[in-house]
Amino acid sequence: MSTFDPTSIATLSINGERLLQRLDALADIGSTGDGGCCRLALTDDDKAGRDLVVAWMHELDLDVVVDAIGNVFGTWNVGHGSPVMTGSHIDTVRTGGKYDGNYGVLAGLEVIATCKEFGITPARPLCVGVFTDEEGARFAPDMLGSLVYVGGLALEEALDTVSIDGKRLGDELARIGYAGAAPCPGPAPHAFVELHIEQGPVLEAENHAFGAVTGVQGISWQELTIVGQSNHAGTTPMHLRRDPAYVAAMMAVYLREIAERFGGDQVCTVGMISLHPNLINVIPARATITLDVRNTDEDTLCDAENLIDTFCFQIEQDEGVSITKRQLTRFEPVVFDERVIDLVERRATEIDGRVKRMPSGAGHDAQMLARVCPSGMIFVPSKDGISHNPREYTEPNEMIEGANVLLRVMLDLTELEF
Ligand code: HGY
Ligand code: MN
Ligand code: MN
């Protein structure tokens, strides 16, 4: 039986000072010196970050379990039944900020610490998950660890994934000592709620304090390898060229045209372009380009992908190149559980009535947990809408209040039967 009155927890607050201190301490690991962080998945810095978070889990006397894809779970085994889980990731992109992912993990630890400090015993266990390789920046796809956890990607296939720097995921996992014993897929939690910075401009622009996240947009990642004819930059007439660099550039322009033509939530990004041999006076032999294409609507996302395929076919004919496509990620849009969204909206409104229901533009582990249990997310504003950038920033009091919403929603979820 739980020992708290749902109305009384509305007066509780997490230890904001400890949360902010821990965010800074974690940000020191892999610090890029400009306020940002670089802890690419399964690097030594990722290991050091994991070790620090595991140490904090042990300080809380949590049961710490590592699974076969390296996901780390700290569980306070109180009450009965499957746990209410929160969590996120602590791997970052190469030019990451302090808060993307880290905030949700550390706020989860704060929720448990606060319950312990105030003598609150939930009816169910509380668990904080640290999911492997959420960013997908080193090993695609993104949300890889949570995808394996929910059975969306076979463990062996995930372990054989090769990084952009040529390393096998399973080897890197073993090298950093996080190839855990717990099997994948893992057990479905009772419910899952993730606290995260918005990473976009909406909450700030519309002067909202919180986002009650309704779901996550669809994501399509492709890598195109464009092979042409390497040749001398000075002697080769333009009409005789088969130039992969030109084709890559035209692809980037075409993606922008698709986004402008579709409008709405359509976004298209070329994040990586590499040329071989990448020399000033050589028409490249090969260009490799990545396409990140997203939309909240699955049919529209498919339309964008079809346009890209048609464009590739046509420009192969026109330019005499060959294009090979590798699909790195493909997730359909996800809608969160209405009951969890309602809880987030209600508890956030208690603190500040400026709450917006909104989809997430970024991918999150919650979109994977939504496959196996009622899931949802809480957003707090991102200053200037900046993320995946050392300038990523959220006001301290906004982060503290976001963690307070997480506290209340998690405790509510321990009382809710689905
Ligand atoms: O790519 C994303 O949306 C997330 O940051 N992994
Ligand atoms: Mn994130
Ligand atoms: Mn991210």
pLDDT tens per residue across span 98-149: 999 999 999 999 999 999 999 999 999 999 999 999 999 999 999 999 999 9
Residue 183 neighbours by CB distance under 10 Å: 10
Q: Quick one: pLDDT at residue 7?
A: 67
Residue of minimum CA distance from atom 6 in ligand 1:
135
pLDDT tens-digit readout, 239-254: 999 999 999 999 999 9
Please compute the mean of the pLDDT values over residues 45-52 and round it to a whole number.
98
Please compute the mean of the pLDDT values over residues 372-393 and round it to a whole number.
98
Ligand 1 contacts (CB < 6 A) are 134-136, 142, 362-363
Q: Could you tell me if 27 and 144 lie in one domain?
A: yes
Instruction: State the Cα–Cα distance between residues 128 and 77, nearest whole angstrom.
Output: 12
User: Residue 129 maps to which CATH number?
Assistant: 3.40.630.10
Q: Could you tell me if 411 and 298 lie in one domain?
A: no
Instruction: State the Cα–Cα distance between residues 272 and 386, nearest whole angstrom.
Output: 19
Does residue 1 sit within a domain? no
Q: Quick one: pLDDT at residue 9?
A: 77
Buried-state track 193-221, b at ≥16 Cβ within 10 A, e below 16: bbbbbbbbebbbeeebbbbbbbbbbbbbb
Residue 244 CB-density burial (10 A; 0-12 exposed, 13-18 middle, 19+ buried): buried
- Residue 181 predicted with pLDDT over 70: yes
pLDDT tens-digit readout, 298-340: 999 999 999 999 999 999 999 999 999 999 999 999 999 999 9
Q: Could you tell me if 44 and 126 lie in one domain?
A: yes
Does residue 283 sit within a domain? yes
Does residue 40 sit within a domain? yes
Q: Quick one: pLDDT at residue 252?
A: 98
Q: Quick one: pLDDT at residue 12?
A: 87
User: Residue 275 maps to which CATH number?
Assistant: 3.30.70.360
End-to-end Cα separation, the chain, in angstroms: 17
Q: Could you tell me if 169 and 48 lie in one domain?
A: yes
- Residue 1 predicted with pLDDT over 60: no
Q: Quick one: pLDDT at residue 103?
A: 98
Distance 413 CA to ligand 3 centre (A): 26
Point out the ligand 1 atom lying closest to the alpha carbon of residue 93: 5
**Which of 89, 90, 100, 135 maximizes ligand 1 atoms within 8 Å of its Cβ, making it the mutation to test the pocket?**
135
Point out the ligand 1 atom lying closest to the alpha carbon of residue 199: 5
- Residue 269 predicted with pLDDT over 80: yes
Assigned token pair, 64 = 């710490």
Using DSSP's 3-state secondary structure scheme, residue 76 falls into: strand
Closest by alpha carbon to 88, among 109, 68, 103?
Answer: 103
Residue of minimum CA distance from atom 4 in ligand 1:
363
Point out the ligand 1 atom lying closest to the alpha carbon of residue 100: 5
Q: Could you tell me if 38 and 91 lie in one domain?
A: yes
Q: Could you tell me if 178 and 232 lie in one domain?
A: no
Beta strands in 126-189 (DSSP E): 126-130
Point out the ligand 1 atom lying closest to the alpha carbon of residue 363: 3
Assigned token pair, 412 = 């509510």
pLDDT tens-digit readout, 194-210: 999 999 999 999 999 99
> Of 5-14, 65-74, 319-328, 406-415, where does mean pLDDT reach its minimum?
5-14
Distance 77 CA to ligand 3 centre (A): 30
Assigned token pair, 180 = 């855990």
Distance 387 CA to ligand 2 centre (A): 9
Distance 142 CA to ligand 1 centre (A): 6
Q: Could you tell me if 248 and 185 lie in one domain?
A: no
Cβ atoms of residues 57 and 74 within 8 Å: yes
Q: Quick one: pLDDT at residue 10?
A: 77
Domain count, the chain: 2
Q: Could you tell me if 122 and 253 lie in one domain?
A: no
Q: How many residues does the chain have?
A: 418
Instruction: Name the pLDDT band for 6 (thresholds 50, 70, 90).
Output: low
Q: Which amino acid is at 35?
A: G
Does residue 303 sit within a domain? yes
Q: Quick one: pLDDT at residue 11?
A: 80
**Which of 132, 364, 379 maximizes ligand 1 atoms within 8 Å of its Cβ, making it the mutation to test the pocket?**
364
Question: How far is residue 416 from each of residues 150, 174, 337, 409, 412, measured CA to CA in Å?
Answer: 22, 39, 13, 10, 6
Cβ atoms of residues 67 and 182 within 8 Å: yes
Distance 388 CA to ligand 3 centre (A): 6
Question: How far is residue 193 from each of residues 120, 141, 225, 233, measured CA to CA in Å?
Answer: 19, 22, 38, 55
Assigned token pair, 65 = 């379990």
Q: Quick one: pLDDT at residue 2?
A: 60
Residue at which a domain ends, from 302, 331, 360? 331
Distance 356 CA to ligand 2 centre (A): 19
Q: Could you tell me if 77 and 226 lie in one domain?
A: no
Cβ atoms of residues 391 and 385 within 8 Å: no
When the pLDDT of each residue in the chain is averaged and rounded to a whole number, the result is: 97
Cis peptide, bond prior to residue 277, ω within 30 of zero: yes
- Residue 3 predicted with pLDDT over 70: no
Looking at the CA of 388, name the nearest ligand.
Answer: 3
Assigned token pair, 362 = 């970024």
Question: How far is residue 412 from each of residues 1, 89, 269, 418, measured CA to CA in Å?
Answer: 13, 23, 39, 12
Q: Could you tell me if 370 and 326 lie in one domain?
A: no
Q: Could you tell me if 40 and 153 lie in one domain?
A: yes
Residue at which a domain ends, from 331, 357, 372? 331
Cβ atoms of residues 276 and 286 within 8 Å: yes
User: Could you tell me the residue range of the domain that residue 188 belongs to?
Assistant: 6-216+333-415
